[in-house]
Structure 1
């Protein structure tokens, strides 16, 4: 058997034996089921994406804290990748506002500890499972400055909305100076007709937290309504979500 973190690397190298492919499939299914049980009772979430590399004194970290607080104020749980940087700032804002703060932690070769501002954490070995769950439980997405991983998450969200695989939940990108080249790229894509001009409306670029919250309220709360939390069933070994600190 292939151990832990080498597992995904091994299976992405190419076709394996039927038995190994079957075992891999079972591992993926188990990871999905474990995460479903862990996140099912969190309630409506907004997922915040951004770099893990910003320190607590950085302007973008501080911005993420305020975003976490503001999302709590309008009734959302805050979900992130559960790590440091932007993720920690957003979780911290929600946690200290006594809102619900959740992390979806990816297990990496270089250990990344979960931040200390989480009421619940789901751990993932496989990126695609983690990303699926982040999208599944979210009523919208806020994207702050980040790197490859953040771009991957942003463009997958936009692709899923564009292709009608998920509802057109709000996508807000904050840090307009940082993302100026991205704005230019999207406009160039539209000009070259690789995306429709209407696709530019799928994302809001802003530096204003009130504008971001208004956009989320209009395009998520009012348009799609909030679903009530599912009730835990004790006979299935489930427990209600708690924010006790």
Structure 2
């Protein structure tokens, strides 16, 4: 039995992807649990910022920390709101400089459909794995988060910036020529971003996941409503555990929950 605070699974870009659940004093190579019974029990909360046993509000934070901590600022979800390049503070300028003022990539990822997204260069290909994409391509590489954000805003007028998680988990995947999709977006880039367009980079990343069996329909496990669950693990995709009875568990969506894990 293991006990710990859930955070998003660590990954290795292998074929298929390797997944690890990391706790304070231990870790689990989740791929090794495929076809085994896994029990998950809710124990308590632990906010990822203040570490108190307070109900989780969003992104692993209690409500007060979500509205106070620098790592939950609005610019996290909306990169176009980044202001560190202007030397303007949102919540903690030192933290914001460290995160925002580094190379960022705007990309296209193929999963339930072709979507546009933003990530720090250092997070490639982790970001695509976390989203459950099966292919991806880089479009621009810019020196800060703001430029990536305004690029995403411009491009999502011509394609989605969302994914359908149900389609991803039932393997109902779109097909597309990502190189052709990238080429058609060149004209829609903001003027200040055009010099950063990766014109000659045609590399398409392909990602495979450790899934033995996909569910036909999915039902989401909510530990607040169902504090104890046991099922046979059949796959891992994105940040989800897929079970034989069609239950799916979003590990990242449950960050800040203290759980007991029993491996049978």
TM-score (norm 2): 0.23
Structure of greater Rg = 2
Q: Which has the higher strand share?
A: 2
Bigger relative CO (Cα 8 Å, ≥ 6 apart):
2
Q: Which has the higher helix share?
A: 1
